[in-house]
Amino acid sequence: MDWLIEDAVVFVAGDNYNIIWNTTEKGLAWVEIDGEKFYDADNGNIKSEERVHKVVVPQKILDAAGEYTIVYKTTVARLPYFPQSLDAKTKTYKFYPVKKKDKINTYLIADTHSEHRYAVKAANAHDLDFLILAGDIADKSMNLDYILTTFRVASGITHGEKPVVFARGNHDTRGEMAPDLYKYIGTDRGHTYFTFKLANIFGFVLDCGEDKPDSNEEYGGMAAFEPFRKEQISFLDEIIEKGEYKDFDHCIMVCHMRLNESWCEKFKDTYAEWLKRINIINPEAIFAGHEHDCFIQPAGTPLFDTGLKFNAPTIVGSKCTGNYHTNHADEEPDFTGTFIEISGDGIKSTFTNSEGKIINEKERK
């Protein structure tokens, strides 16, 4: 299709799906589900000057319908009277919600740093029910082309037919478009931290922001992530107060950074408050990236010298090689991610490369 750059992506966040797609020209957009329209609009005005279109639909409505249609009309002129646009163009997608079954499969991708081909191939070697993107899919948020890396990965794997969980990485916070990134990814009312529910899985996403103090000269006075990290303490309190996680068979957490990674010691007081609450929620596993490596940190590992320990293992599960943006630039091009099987036996995490070959395997039951 000459008007659609990549297939739509269905991000899950909160109780909604964020359906997002990218077009070659600016225009009007909406989604139709069982005859009901959901618009890409602000306060009643349908947007007409965007190439990236984001429509929020209730999760339960799309899950029940199993199909949606994206609609797009190229803008000619947004005049004060009788504005003009071209005829509508459409594409209909089947949608496969995650359903409760003996085994639910997902794949973790992070740190592709704008190289998407091998990561897509690695995930496509498996039969997946949903996809987890754990940050730094693009190397930075300098312009729309960088941001489109996320869609090249997600579209190439899900083709608009399966849910995607997105956790922001620290490189996502860098560049001219970083403050507007929330418009192009799945969020819950604009927040990049949120809960999600898929069948019998309760999940929550936390956002560490940057990996150095806000005062670091690298940020040029444009970072305020410590207050942002602290506001997520209240978010965790809300999860505990609502107690929804108790009604699900499984609970997982996604965060770009492992909370006791060496860079994080500067924020240990805040992360101690996080971990106190994370341990109450008690996820079976924490999934992360950031370190350009694949390993499992076992449960019982301490959080620096805070006296706290992780109840759950942390699976750090992504490594992109042969990419000049990473510290593995001199190796052969490839990607290793994490194939995750969630069942009554627990969570099994297997590290696999673009050929589907197992690189390492660990299991928690």
How do residues 24-40 score in pLDDT, each as one tens digit?
999 999 999 999 999 99
Q: What is the pLDDT of residue 326?
A: 80
pLDDT digits (tens, 9 = 90+) for 305-342: 999 999 999 999 999 998 878 878 888 999 999 999 99
pLDDT digits (tens, 9 = 90+) for 177-213: 999 999 999 999 999 999 999 999 999 999 999 999 9
Span 354-358, average pLDDT: 93
Average pLDDT, the chain: 95
Q: Is residue 171 predicted with pLDDT exceeding 80?
A: yes
Q: What percent of the chain has pLDDT over 70?
A: 99
Predicted confidence band at 227 (pLDDT cuts at 50, 70, 90)? very high
Q: Is residue 282 predicted with pLDDT exceeding 60?
A: yes
Q: Is residue 241 predicted with pLDDT exceeding 70?
A: yes
Span 273-286, average pLDDT: 98
> How far is residue 308 CA from its own chain's centroid?
28
What is the 3-class SS of the chain, one letter each residue? Answer: CCCEEEEEEEEEECCEEEEEEEEEEEEEEEEEECCEEEECEECCEECCCEEEEEEEEEHHHHHHHCEEEEEEEEEEECCCCCCEECCCEEEEEECCCCCCCCEEEEEEECCCCCCCHHHHHHHHCCCCCEEEECCCCCCCCCCHHHHHHHHHHHHHHHCCCCEEEECCCCHHHCCCCHHHHHHHCCCECCECCEEEEECCEEEEEECCCCCCCCCCHHHCCCCCHHHHHHHHHHHHHHHHHHCHHHHCCEEEEEECCCCCCHHHHHHHHHHHHHHHHHHHHCCCEEEECCCCEEEEECCCCECCCCCCECCCCEEEEEEEECCCCCCCCCCCCEEEEEEEEEECCEEEEEEECCCCCEEEEEEEC
Q: Is residue 255 predicted with pLDDT exceeding 70?
A: yes
Predicted confidence band at 361 (pLDDT cuts at 50, 70, 90)? low
Span 112-140, average pLDDT: 96
Span 259-268, average pLDDT: 95
Quote the CA–CA distance of 42 and 205 in Å, as a whole number.
Answer: 26
Span 118-144, average pLDDT: 96
Q: Is residue 360 predicted with pLDDT exceeding 80?
A: no
Q: What is the pLDDT of residue 176?
A: 94
Query: Helix 225-242 crosses helix 268-281 at what angle (to 10 degrees)?
Result: 20
Q: What is the pLDDT of residue 323?
A: 86
**Are 314 and 297 a contacting pair, CB within 8 Å?**
yes
Q: Is residue 362 predicted with pLDDT exceeding 70?
A: no
Q: What is the pLDDT of residue 1?
A: 76
Q: Is residue 363 predicted with pLDDT exceeding 60?
A: no
Identify the bridge partners of residue 78 per DSSP, sorted by sequence position.
none
Q: What is the pLDDT of residue 365?
A: 29
Q: How many CB atoms lie within 10 A of CB 76?
A: 12
Predicted confidence band at 294 (pLDDT cuts at 50, 70, 90)? very high
